[in-house]
């Protein structure tokens, strides 16, 4: 009897355990079903206010907000922000970035045409409303080279109107548009360093070995060497700028160390000083005094932003602001007399919050959040983690779980989840902690989301960045796979339901994942990524040519036989036969960085092999999706596609194709609801 009683008790325990598991899964499903599907327009619609600035005289506050569906500049008196008015009136392609001229009467911004990156520089008078194109030339990519409060009416602007590959420097009046040639770039300089007197002090040449030489004017139009930076340090060592006197040069400097420090160089004595350094992270954002042009604080971002104060006069201010919230903080704008700052606090599960800080009163007044629609929403937290690569590198990564999936708050879900691996672009950029709209959309739909700083990413020292050289499709890709394996081992990812997604380099990595490791990913979402590395390098914009040696060193040199072999080996287009799972591909027709042929040729190859593919082409976009209607349509398409192949929730298309230029040349029938949505789409 004792034996049978023991067996019966075991059976009861097993029965109870099975009941508890089923009950737990049912409760989890109920919780998932009861968690609202946050509408796409809430997550990806135009935020109400971003890029908040204060005018140099402190009288006005400005920001970007949606007008006619695209970003425009709006402004209001600092002491009465409800009395706002629009300064720009763009209707087709919005303002992406802008700044106040030191006249306090003009806003300066740049704009291209349908994503072609032929940038024009505009100045708008806030009093008269007159808009002046400072660079009224076709097929020219203009860029701001220098701004100084000493010359409020003038800017230095680079123009490649004479030679499409190189920019000459002009001094331009923002009121009259009058321009004067300052430097004719016959030396084929790649970039310049300008001082506070709007003088060209340094110019850079990139050699065939990838080394960078900075030269200084020697008189009579000649130049002499000032600084040589070997290729190994070229990503992390460069001049930042001069102080007001022009005698102190600030540099990002990694020579003799791994991570980039901030250093100062006294040009009269050649004395150099290390001002700030961190053993794990490169120097990032800096705070510069508005008139003295001295560096006052430096941000080092390993997992999150960490400010190191250099100037004791602002330490009480930083200490005070640090007590307002536990979120990451940055100062985005300062008055010329430095009495008022615009401060932003960055969160991972809510919109950015803006304050105006009065230094004299040492008080911060809350202005507004970037988007009230995101306030009081149930949003997910972003977890920071370091994952070891197979050869021992530290991969700083971030992952997000659905809010219902981690009830005990231990950073792990109760059961493995369908997962989306998001790969950042560049690749010489990095993922960071903070509010990420894609992380929020996908986690709300039921997916775990993983972002990985693979080798080649920036911010973690020159060794880590240089470790990505000529490792496209190899060790850079292995880092992504190692992170996927980590997520499976931790019980985060369901190995049968993992997608890979990314744009630009992330698009390349997506295609590499779907071709080189075809059984790992259930599907892929790729946008604006190169499929053939050889054709990609042959079609880059002409104004990238000054830095082409860097591209050859880091990707592969198509001028050598060994380089051509490497590029062919790493090109997903040549491995189309290996693709086993569906891919969604999106592309801007006017993309100057990654020619639309990169997408078209792999779509055609997949069609010929009868491999499932859906192709979205945007005739009025470039490298990415800037127009809001286009972005909304792409994310609607993405979540429907992922739902079909990973099983997550999705919001039906509704009217989210309206106002978009989206065309679907191939594969509309492979995404649920897409054919019907296209049939009812209005312009």
pLDDT tens column, 280-319: 999 999 999 999 999 999 999 999 999 999 999 999 999 9
Mean pLDDT score across all residues of the chain: 93
pTM comes to 0.93
Residue 276 placed within a domain:
no
Query: How many Å apart are CA 25 and CA 161, to the nearest integer?
Result: 64
Q: Are residues 91 and 146 in the same domain?
A: no
Residue 277 placed within a domain:
no
Residue 238 placed within a domain:
no
CB 419 within 8 A of CB 447: yes
Annotated catalytic residue, options 504, 600, 633, 643? 504
Provide, rounded to the nearest whole percent, the portion of the chain with pLDDT above 90: 90
Q: Is 39 exposed, middle or buried (0-12, 13-18, 19+ CB in 10 A)?
A: middle
Give the model's confidence band at 35: pLDDT under 50 very low, under 70 low, under 90 confident, else very high: confident
Of 186, 232, 239, the closest CA to residue 214 belongs to 239
Of 614, 601, 606, the closest CA to residue 665 belongs to 614
Q: What pLDDT is recorded for position 7?
A: 26
Q: Are residues 347 and 384 in the same domain?
A: no
Pairing type for strands 417-423 and 493-503 reads: parallel
CB 611 within 8 A of CB 579: yes
Q: Are residues 515 and 582 in the same domain?
A: yes
Q: Which two tokens stand for residue 599?
A: 């997408």
Q: Are residues 96 and 168 in the same domain?
A: no
Query: How many Å apart are CA 444 and CA 42, to the nearest integer?
Result: 12
> What beta strand segments (E) does 267-321 contain?
272-276, 283-288, 295-301, 305-309
Annotated catalytic residue, options 105, 305, 439, 623? 623
Residue that terminates a domain, selected from 376, 409, 442: 376
CB 665 within 8 A of CB 642: no
Q: Are residues 368 and 390 in the same domain?
A: no
Q: Which two tokens stand for residue 356?
A: 């105006």
Output the CA torsion sign for 645, 651, 652, 657. Answer: negative
Q: What pLDDT is recorded for position 477?
A: 98
Of 479, 478, 484, the closest CA to residue 499 belongs to 484
* Annotated catalytic residue 504: yes
Query: How many Å apart are CA 681 and CA 683, to the nearest integer?
Result: 7
Q: Are residues 345 and 477 in the same domain?
A: no
* Annotated catalytic residue 208: no
Q: Are residues 541 and 428 in the same domain?
A: yes
Give the model's confidence band at 92: pLDDT under 50 very low, under 70 low, under 90 confident, else very high: confident
Query: How many Å apart are CA 484 and CA 366, to the nearest integer?
Result: 41
Residue 219 has pLDDT above 60, yes or no: yes
Q: Are residues 545 and 525 in the same domain?
A: yes
Q: Give the chain's domain count.
A: 3
CB 654 within 8 A of CB 41: no
Q: How far apart are the first and last CA of the chain?
A: 79
CA-based diameter of the chain, in Å? 108
Residue 286: CB atoms within 10 Å:
19
Phi and psi of 530, rounded to 5°? -75, 135
Q: For the domain that residue 503 is a member of, what is the CATH number?
A: 3.40.50.1820
Mean pLDDT to the nearest integer, 131-152: 96
Pairing type for strands 417-423 and 448-452 reads: parallel
Q: Are residues 387 and 356 in the same domain?
A: no
Strand pairing partners for 557?
none
Summarised one tens digit per residue, pLDDT across range 574-610 is 999 999 999 999 999 999 999 999 999 999 999 999 9
Q: Which two tokens stand for residue 399?
A: 């992952």
Give residue 239's Cα distance to chain centre: 23
Pairing type for strands 583-588 and 613-618 reads: parallel
Query: How many Å apart are CA 605 and CA 357, to the nearest integer?
Result: 57
Strand pairing partners for 286?
298
Range scoring the smallest mean pLDDT among 31-40, 59-68, 119-128, 623-632: 31-40
Question: Containing domain of residue 140, as a range?
Answer: 111-120+135-186
DSSP 8-state assignment for residue 455: T
In which residue are the tokens 């106002």 written?
659
CB 140 within 8 A of CB 167: no
Q: Are residues 389 and 364 in the same domain?
A: no
Query: How many Å apart are CA 309 and CA 446, to the nearest integer?
Result: 41
Q: Are residues 332 and 445 in the same domain?
A: no
Pairing type for strands 493-503 and 523-527 reads: parallel
Which residues are CB-contacts of 278 (< 8 A; sequence separation ≥ 6)?
259, 300, 302, 306, 308
Q: Are residues 396 and 335 in the same domain?
A: no
* Annotated catalytic residue 469: no
Residue 428 placed within a domain:
yes
Determine the angle formed by the axes of helices 475-489 and 505-516, rounding to 10 degrees. 70
Summarised one tens digit per residue, pLDDT across range 350-379 is 999 999 999 999 999 999 999 999 999 999
Q: Which two tokens stand for residue 249?
A: 């040069």
Summarised one tens digit per residue, pLDDT across range 629-682 is 899 999 999 999 999 999 999 999 999 999 899 999 999 999 999 999 999 998
């Amino acid at each position: 009897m004792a034996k049978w009683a023991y067996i019966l008790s075991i059976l009861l325990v097993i029965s109870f355990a099975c009941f508890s598991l089923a009950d737990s899964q049912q409760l989890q499903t109920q919780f998932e079903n009861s968690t609202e599907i946050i509408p796409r327009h809430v997550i990806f619609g135009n935020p109400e206010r971003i890029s908040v600035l204060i005018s140099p005289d402190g009288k006005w506050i400005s920001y970007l907000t949606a007008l006619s569906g695209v970003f425009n500049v709006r402004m209001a008196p600092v002491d009465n922000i409800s009395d706002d008015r629009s300064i720009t009136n763009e209707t087709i392609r919005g303002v992406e970035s802008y700044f106040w001229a030191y006249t306090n009467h003009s806003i300066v911004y740049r704009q291209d045409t349908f994503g072609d990156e032929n940038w024009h520089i505009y100045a708008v008078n806030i009093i008269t409303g007159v808009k002046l194109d400072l660079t009224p030339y076709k097929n020219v990519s203009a860029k701001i080279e220098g701004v100084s409060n000493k010359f409020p009416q003038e800017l230095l602007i680079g123009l490649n109107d004479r030679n499409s590959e190189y920019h000459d420097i002009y001094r331009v009046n923002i009121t009259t548009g009058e321009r004067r040639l300052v430097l004719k770039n016959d030396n084929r300089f790649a970039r310049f360093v300008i001082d506070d007197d709007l003088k060209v002090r340094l110019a850079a040449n990139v050699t065939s070995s990838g080394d960078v030489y900075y030269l200084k004017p020697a008189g009579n139009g000649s130049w002499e060497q000032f600084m040589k930076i070997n290729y190994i340090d070229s990503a992390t060592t460069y001049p930042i700028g001069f102080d007001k006197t022009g005698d102190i040069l600030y540099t990002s400097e990694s020579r003799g160390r791994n991570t980039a420090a901030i250093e100062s160089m006294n040009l009269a004595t050649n004395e150099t000083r290390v001002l700030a350094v961190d053993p794990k992270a490169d120097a990032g954002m800096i705070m510069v005094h508005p008139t003295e042009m001295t560096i006052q604080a430096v941000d080092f971002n390993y997992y999150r932003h960490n400010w190191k104060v250099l100037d004791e006069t602002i330490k009480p201010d930083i200490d005070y602001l640090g007590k307002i919230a536990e979120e990451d903080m940055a100062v985005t704008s300062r008055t010329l007399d430095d009495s008022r700052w615009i401060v932003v606090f960055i969160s991972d599960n809510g919109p950015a919050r803006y304050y105006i800080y009065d230094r004299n009163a040492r008080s911060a007044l809350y202005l507004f959040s970037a988007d009230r629609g995101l306030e009081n929403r149930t949003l997910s937290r972003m977890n920071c983690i370091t994952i070891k690569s197979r050869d021992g590198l530290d991969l700083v990564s971030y992952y997000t779980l659905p809010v219902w999936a981690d009830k005990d708050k231990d950073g792990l879900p109760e059961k493995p989840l369908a997962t989306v691996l998001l790969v950042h672009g560049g690749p010489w950029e990095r993922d960071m902690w903070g509010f990420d709209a894609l992380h929020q959309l996908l986690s709300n739909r039921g997916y775990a989301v993983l972002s990985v700083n693979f080798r080649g990413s920036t911010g973690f020292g020159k060794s880590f960045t240089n470790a990505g050289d000529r490792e496209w499709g190899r060790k850079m890709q292995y880092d992504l796979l190692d992170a996927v394996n980590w997520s499976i081992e931790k019980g985060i990812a369901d190995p049968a339901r993992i997608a890979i997604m990314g744009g630009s380099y992330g698009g390349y990595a997506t295609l590499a994942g779907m071709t080189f490791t075809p059984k790992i990913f259930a599907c892929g979402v790729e946008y604006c990524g190169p499929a053939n590395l050889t054709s990609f390098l042959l079609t880059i914009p002409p104004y990238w040519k000054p830095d082409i040696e860097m591209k050859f060193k880091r990707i592969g040199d198509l001028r050598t036989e060994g380089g051509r072999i490497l590029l062919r080996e790493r090109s997903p287009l040549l491995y189309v036969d290996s693709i086993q799972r569906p891919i969604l591909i999106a592309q801007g027709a006017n993309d100057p960085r990654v020619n639309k042929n990169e997408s078209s040729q792999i779509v055609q190859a997949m069609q010929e092999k009868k491999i499932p593919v859906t192709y979205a082409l945007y005739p009025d976009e470039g490298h990415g999706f800037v127009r809001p209607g286009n972005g909304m349509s792409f994310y609607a398409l993405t979540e429907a596609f992922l739902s079909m192949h990973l099983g997550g929730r999705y919001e039906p298309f509704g009217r989210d194709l309206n106002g978009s230029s989206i065309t679907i040349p191939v594969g509309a029938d492979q995404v649920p609801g897409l054919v019907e949505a296209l049939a009812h789409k209005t312009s």
